[in-house]
Amino acid sequence: MTENNGKEMVRMENVVKRFGTFTALNEVSISIEEGEVVVIIGPSGSGKSTLLRTINQLERHDGGRIIVDGMEITDDIRTLSKIRTETGMVFQQFNLFPHLTVLRNITLAPQKVRHIPQREAEELAYQLLERVGIPEQADKYPGQLSGGQQQRVAIARALAMNPRLMMFDEPTSALDPEMINEVLKVMMELAADGMTMICVTHEMGFARNVANRVVFMDEGEIVEVSTAQEFFTAPKEARTQMFLDQILTH
Amino acid sequence: MTTFTTIQPASVAQRIVWAKANLFNTRGNAALTVVSVGSAALLLFLAVRYVLFQANWGLVAINQRLFFIGSYPQDETFRIWIAVFLVVGLIAVTYGIWAGKLRPYLIAIGVVAAIVLTLGLGTEFRIEEHEFTDVIESAGQTQTVTGIDSVLVVDRGWAPSWLYAVSLGLAVPFGSTWVLMACVFATLAGGAWVGKQLSRWRSNPIVLQGIGALWVLLIPAIVLMQFGVSSNSWESAFLDVLVFAVGVFFSFFIGLALAMGRISPYWAIRVSSVGYIEVVRAAPLLVWLLFATFLKDELGPVGEAFSSIDLVYRVMFVFAFFGGAYIAEVIRGGLQSVPRGQREASQSLGLSSIQMYALIVLPQAIRAVIPAIIGRFIALWKDTALLAAISLVNTLEKSKKILSGQTDIADGAFFEIYIVVALIYWVVSYLLSKLGSAAESRLGVGERR
């Protein structure tokens, strides 16, 4: 666990997101500090992924304010692009680029967006592949890797942009059970290094052991925010208790 | 690593077992097999007999030049030869870099070269005149007619007539053309060898981009080289290839622009792209060609300016914009096939919209629709036959002119002429489809899942 130094990384104030008549986020407010690991859990359709996706604006929010690393999200495309380069995102379906090699998947954005020379970008990529434990896969294509390996490449790809915030959107949900741990291990190491992380996940073990805070969402609202310890042992809200009963009974 | 499945060649015994189980398993099936194999064999026999022993390829042989370049001025043919060498050299080098094996390719070139270069050696043509006497019966009266009949005779040099017929009369007699053709075949072989040497650097982006750039520059270069020869003398296969090449080149980029226009965030661009595509696709190409031919001042200054351009360029314009409308729809299909997650991943990495489309979305989209794009190109190539309908002298029109100008010596050999016309269309179509399947298998590397 890392000590919070008090600097605010993400601030959401009364954020609203609607899809047609459906309200996915209803006046959501939360503040996340640098170095914090926050796990968001909740039943499906509760707005967890949408919350993540408004932070890097894969979904535009319809109301409220979102401030990332001191920059408020507006219509200004430059701010948006800056925020996106500073936030890494890992998807449930990996979303690696199938027509590019693993190495190119990782070096593409640093070269094109950060304008890092090719050689440097490749060195960085090899370091990151080493870090996620698959340095020998650099010249393969994503389709030739297992799901767990692909997800680790996706993490390396996001890290290559040297982000200040990493967001994980159900990173282990599409994996075969035997591959989940290799991905969680990488995430734990990342947390131990002090990365600010927001994770939507159903891995309760990860939440209990790694998260500083756990956020429980339901029906587009944040129902409860508490420390991991409190959350699992003494939930305050009835809805939280009900959800925990459902997922922890078997 | 790739895993290869080896398929063991079947033994004769296995094949008999297979045939019994699949072709002769019921009485009806056996009858069907016998009838279909029998009629196919009969048709093949008749075709071979016609080509080798019955057809008269003399008219093709003496009109080779007209078939390929029509009445292009003799002094300027170097322009066409340069174009031929550029195309052939680039094809060979590209093939050498990306194709697997050289041997089957070299053998195929060797066979074609042997036919074209040797079977024509010693060939000479002369027209023999015979006196003839015919008895004509009409309306119950008999009449005796005498006259002189001209017959084209081909001295075939050393090759027996049936062997000569293999070349359909397209074998080249000795002369400057023979030397140049020999150089073409040498370039095809040598270029592939050079490509093979370069192939160790084929993953190097400089090689890839260099070859790509040469291909893109090729067509404008060839067209620019034709300035200095009046477009009135662009005829025959040369005209078809030129119109097709320019049409393909621009239709791809126009199609790309229209496909991007359809998904533009701006309403006006979206609507005009869709409107353009729907209007252009709604009328046949022939109608657009007729518009381009007969438009005078109907559209005021626009029409006048357009009609002041040479007809050939107007036709190229129509081919490019007509083909573009179809290519746009094909690419749109490709764009839809790229999962949304690809766009999201690009955006989350901070790539700009242009980078996202250029580097991530379009490469995958176009790769997915290569077969359909090649299909459109083949259709566009065969559409050049329509030029005959608007008084341009394409291969088809030229062959008609050859026949009508030489009826006295044609001796009813019109079928032979059309076989060669079909062959010219077939060769280009075949090369295009080969190119398509090669591009598919080379570019499909990342698609394995």
* Alpha carbon separation from B141 to B146, B147, B328, B402 (Å, rounded): 16, 19, 68, 36
C-beta atoms of B355 and A87 within 8 A: no
**DSSP letter (8 states) at residue B394:** B
Query: Is residue B435 classed as helix, strand or coil in its secondary structure?
Result: helix
Residue B170 lies in a domain: no
pLDDT recorded at residue A129:
95
Interface residue A145 vs chain B (CB under 8 A): no
Whether the per-residue pLDDT at B413 is higher than 60: the answer is: yes
- B28-B34-B35-B38 Cα dihedral, nearest 10 degrees: 180
- Judge whether B241 lies within some domain: yes
B409 pLDDT tier (thresholds 50, 70, 90): low
pLDDT at B158 over 90: no
What pLDDT was estimated at residue B229? 84
Residue B443: left (phi > 0), alpha (psi -120 to 50), or beta?
alpha
Query: For B239-268, what is the mean pLDDT?
Result: 93
Q: Are B156 and B122 in contact (CB under 8 A)?
A: yes
pLDDT band at A7; cut points 50, 70, 90: confident
Report pLDDT for B9: 62
In chain B, how many domains are there?
1
User: Do the Cβ atoms of A203 and A169 come closer than 8 Å?
Assistant: no
Domain membership of residue B289 as a residue range: 234-449
Count of A-B CB contacts under 8 Å: 73
Report CA torsion sign: B349, B354, B356, B359: negative
Interchain contact B447–A (C-beta under 8 A)? yes
User: Is A88's CB within 8 Å of B351's CB?
Assistant: no
* pLDDT in the model for residue A128: 95
Q: Find the closest chain B residue to A168 by CA distance.
A: B348
Identify the residue with better confidence: B202 or A159. A159
Q: Which residues of B177-190 are buried (b: 16+ CB within 10 A; e: fewer)?
A: bbeebeebbebbbe
What span, in angstroms and rounded, lies between the C-alpha atoms of B266 and B358?
19
Establish if B344 touches chain A: CB-CB under 8 angstroms.
Answer: yes
A142 to chain B: nearest residue by CA? Answer: B446
Of the candidates A81, A88, A141, the beta carbon closest to that of B446 is on: A141
Residues of B in contact with A89 (CB under 8 A): 344-345, 348
Binary contact (A58, B348; C-beta < 8 A): yes
Residue B19 has a pLDDT of 83
Cα separation of B309 and A32, whole Å?
Answer: 67
Q: Does B362 touch chain A (CB under 8 A)?
A: no
Minimal CA separation from B343 to chain A, in Å: 9
- CB A68 within 8 Å of CB A55: yes
Residue A181 structure tokens? 């741990």
Chain center to CA of A11: 15
Any B CB within 8 A of A161 CB? yes
Mean pLDDT confidence for A63-78 = 91
For the CA atoms of A229, A234, A238, A239, the dihedral, rounded to the nearest 10 degrees, stands at 20
Closest residue of chain A to B354, computed from CA coordinates: A112
Q: With beta carbons under 8 A apart, name residues in chain B contacting A141.
A: 445-446, 448
Stated length of chain B: 449
In chain A, what residues touch B355 (CB-CB under 8 Å)? 112-113
Percentage of chain A exceeding pLDDT 70: 97
For residue B449, name the pLDDT band (cuts at 50, 70, 90): very low
The residues, any chain, with a CB within 8 Å of residue B83's CB and separated by 6 or more, are B222, B225
State the pLDDT at residue A3: 46
Residue at B284 is within a domain? yes
Is B349–A100 a contact, with Cβ atoms under 8 angstroms apart? no
Residue B1 has pLDDT above 50, yes or no: no
Range ranked top by mean pLDDT from A105-109, B174-178, B211-215: A105-109
Range with top average pLDDT, A213-227, B20-34, B155-169: A213-227
From the list B342, B350, B445, which residue is nearest A95 (CB)?
Answer: B342
| A139 neighbourhood in chain B, CB within 8 Å | none
> For B65-79, what is each residue's pLDDT tens digit?
888 888 888 888 889
Q: What is the mean pLDDT of residues B351-366?
A: 93
pLDDT tens by residue, A154-168: 999 999 999 999 999
> In sequence order, what are the residues at sequence separation of 6 or more whose Cβ sits closer than 8 angstroms to the Cβ of residue B398?
B66, B67, B70, B235, B236
Burial of B326 (0-12, 13-18, 19+ CB in 10 A): buried
According to DSSP, residue B359 is labeled I
What average pLDDT does the structure give for chain B?
Answer: 86
3-class secondary-structure state, position A115: coil
- Does residue B42 register a pLDDT over 50? yes
CB spacing of A109 vs B446 below 8 angstroms:
no
| Range among A84-88, B71-75, B303-307 rated most confident | A84-88
Half-sphere CA count of B445, side-chain side, radius 13 A: 15
Query: Considering the domain boundaries, does residue B390 fall inside one?
Result: yes
Please indicate whether, in this complex, the C-beta atoms of A141 and B348 are within 8 angstroms of each other. Answer: no
Instruction: Please report the pLDDT score of residue B39 as a whole number.
Output: 95
B416 is a domain residue: yes
Q: What is the pTM of this model?
A: 0.84
Mutate to test the interface with B, among A53, A95, A165 (most CBs of B within 10 A): A95
CATH number where B333 lies: 1.10.3720.10
Mean pLDDT, rounded, of chain A: 91
* List of chain B residues whose C-beta atoms are within 8 Å of the C-beta of residue A95: 339, 341-342, 344-345
pLDDT band at B125 (very low <50, low <70, confident <90, very high): confident
Residue B302 in any domain: the answer is yes
Average pLDDT over residues A66-79: 91
Contact: A84, B348; criterion CB under 8 Å: yes
- Chain A contact for B363 (CB, 8 A cutoff): yes
B113 is a domain residue: no
On the question of pLDDT at A18 being above 60, the answer is: yes
pLDDT digits 0-9 by tens, B85-106: 999 999 899 888 887 688 888 9
Q: Has residue B280 got a pLDDT over 80?
A: yes
B345 close contact with A: CB closer than 8 A:
yes
Q: Give the tokens for residue A115.
A: 């304008």
Facing residues of A13 across strands?
Answer: A65
Choose the most confident range, by mean pLDDT, from B49-53, B233-237, B330-334, B431-435: B330-334
- pLDDT category, B410, cuts 50, 70, 90? low
| Residue of A93, A97, A149, A165 to mutate for B, most B C-beta atoms under 10 A | A97
> Is B279 part of any domain?
yes
Average pLDDT, integer, range B98-120: 86
Backbone angles phi, psi at B193, to 5 degrees: -65, -45
Start-end of H helices in B122-175: 161-166
DSSP codes joined into one string, B294-355: H-SSTTTHHHHHHHTS-HHHHHHHHHHHHHHHHHHHHHHHHHHHS-HHHHHHHHHTT--HHH
User: Taking CB atoms and an 8 Å limit, are B349 and A58 in contact across chains?
Assistant: no
Regarding an ipTM greater than 0.95, the answer is no
What is the pLDDT, as a whole number, of residue B99?
76
**Among residues 58-87 of chain A, which lie with CB inside 8 Å of chain B?**
58, 81, 84-85, 87
Nearest to B91 by CA among B373, B435, B427: B435
